[in-house]
Amino acid sequence: MRNVLFLVDRHRYGESAVDFSLSFLKEMNVKLVMVSRTPDMKRLEKLSTKLREAGNDVRTEVLKEGYAPAFRESKEGYDLVIFERKEKAFSQHILSGVSEAILGPPVVRILAASETPVLRIEKESRALEKVLILVDGSVGSIWAVEDGGEIASLAGAEVTVLLVVPQIPVMFTGLEEMEENVEEMLHTRTIEARTLRRAVRALTKLGVKARLKIRRGEASDEILEEIGSGYYDLVVLGTRRLASRRKYIFGSVAQEILSRTSLPLLLVKIG
């Protein structure tokens, strides 16, 4: 990760977003863009100074005409887009099953415009020390592991990889007991075991030691309960495109997470 696009506006969360990002933003090329019709140049300078003091090469820009230029900019070879989202700033209109209020239209359009991972920082956040990476049985979920693992490695953060599997019928309770032991399950030939082994290999290459965790039940309920423990500072999840609608949308589980947590979220396109 070398090139980062950092989008902020006038509101007060920008400084907290920068402080959170400095956990891993060091010695990188950062373009800091303030999107505002009435830009606060003192605030922009303060944020850029913080980034420079961490050894980053910082360029600044002001966009008074809105986010449209930022959508084009996000396609230009960036490794990460950081977006400081103002709470309750957008319309509650729901289109094609996706609430733009969940992310704010700019984030949705940035995700649709490029393959670049997007980090949403919604409010004041504590230092980045513990990362939760969500995986499923899909091949693409390893991309979320790699991108989330890279940020964790740069920040020196701990990583937990969470896999949620369906509840096993009562007649197979023996299998459930076996799978509660993650180490034993890793040696099986199940899809879940293969997913976790791939995650461990990817994180090991990045020098990150991961804690593996399995929860059983409804995916959204189990994930939200895990997030609600208060243990994590960043959640990493994959998102998918529904090409036929020409819209960037999220599955029902992702929508639940996006709408019900204010933790920083790293959104990685996996399909």
Q: Indicate whether 113 pLDDT > 70.
A: no
Q: What is the mean pLDDT of residues 117-135?
A: 88
| pLDDT (0 to 100) of residue 178 | 45
Q: Give the homologous superfamily in CATH for domain 130-269.
A: HUPs (3.40.50.620)
- C-alpha 45: how far from chain center: 26
Contacts of 176 (CB under 8 A, 6+ apart): 168, 216
Q: Indicate whether 52 pLDDT > 80.
A: yes
Q: What is the pTM of this model?
A: 0.85
Residue 228, Cβ neighbours under 10 Å: how many?
A: 12
| pLDDT (0 to 100) of residue 91 | 33
**Rounded CA separation 250/253 (Å):** 8
Per-residue pLDDT tens over the stretch 241-271:
654 444 444 566 777 787 788 899 998 887 6
Per-residue pLDDT tens over the stretch 158-195:
999 999 887 764 444 444 454 456 777 777 777 888 88
Pick the residue with more confidence: 154 or 140? 154
**Residue ranges covered by each domain of the chain:** 3-121, 130-269
Say yes or no: do domains 3-121 and 130-269 share a fold.
yes
Q: What is the mean pLDDT of residues 59-69?
A: 84
| pLDDT (0 to 100) of residue 106 | 64
Residue 98, Cβ neighbours under 10 Å: how many?
A: 19
Closest CA to 107 of 91, 97, 90, 120: 120
Q: Indicate whether 97 pLDDT > 70.
A: no
Q: Are strands 265-269 and 118-121 parallel, antiparallel or unpaired?
A: antiparallel
**Rounded CA separation 149/140 (Å):** 15
Average pLDDT of the residues of the chain? 80
CA dihedral (79, 258, 234, 119) in degrees, to 10, reads 20
Q: Indicate whether 6 pLDDT > 60.
A: yes
Three-state SS string over the chain comes to CCEEEEEECCCCHHHHHHHHHCCCCCCCEEEEEEECCCCCHHHHHHHHHHHHHCCCEEEEEEECCCCHHHHHHCCCCCCEEEEECCCCCCCCCEECCEEHHHHCHHHHHHHHHCCCCEEEECCCCCCCCEEEEEECCCCCHHHHHHHHHHHHHHHCCEEEEEEEECCCCHHHHHHHHHHCCHHHHCCCCCHHHHHHHHHHHHHHHCCCCEEEEEEECCHHHHHHHHHCCCCCCEEEEEEEEEHHHCEEECCHHHHHHHHHCCCCEEEEECC
Closest CA to 200 of 146, 237, 264: 146
Q: Indicate whether 88 pLDDT > 60.
A: no
Orientation of helix 141-155 relative to helix 191-205, angle to 10°: 30
Would you state the CATH architecture of domain 3-121? 3-Layer(aba) Sandwich (3.40)
At residue 83 the predicted structure's pLDDT band, cuts being 50, 70 and 90, is confident
Tokens of 173: 């309770």
